[in-house]
Amino acid sequence: ALLEEKASAEANVRALAEEKKKLDSLNVGMAGELDALKERLSSFEAKMQALVNEKDATKHNSADIKSDDRSNLFIENNGLLVTNASLQAELEQIPWESNEATGFASSPAEVSSHSEF
């Protein structure tokens, strides 16, 4: 009877050892999954911070434009930077005809002299 009990106890110890191995491998797998989730969370947080920074920069830029003198505004189109001053210089190269009949300014210089900005 004692030998049977000893054999049964040894079988239980072996079964428990096998169960512990399974649990240990599950723990390793779960630790790996946890690390992967932490990486994804970190990446997500970085993307969110970049979006917040971009939003703040956009707010800052639009505030600058509103407070800036209109003569210093620029238009960026297809990578080409055009300032009001460069447009003014190009307009002055165009031969303008006098338009006395309408009373409207007919040259950039006349437009500039009547401009509020």
Read off the pLDDT of residues 8-30 as tens digits, 9 standing for 90 and up: 999 999 999 999 999 998 888 88
Residue ranges, the chain, pLDDT below 50: 67-68, 115-117
- The pLDDT score that the predictor gives to residue 117 is 46
Q: Give the domain ranges of the chain.
A: 1-67, 70-117
Half-sphere exposure of 83 (CA within 13 A, CB side): 6
Q: Which residues touch 11 (CB under 8 Å, ≥6 apart)?
A: none
Question: Rounded to 5 degrees, what are φ and ψ at 47?
Answer: -65, -40
- The pLDDT score that the predictor gives to residue 53 is 85
Question: Identity (one letter) of the amino acid at 26?
Answer: L
Global pTM?
0.38
- The pLDDT score that the predictor gives to residue 92 is 73
- The pLDDT score that the predictor gives to residue 61 is 62
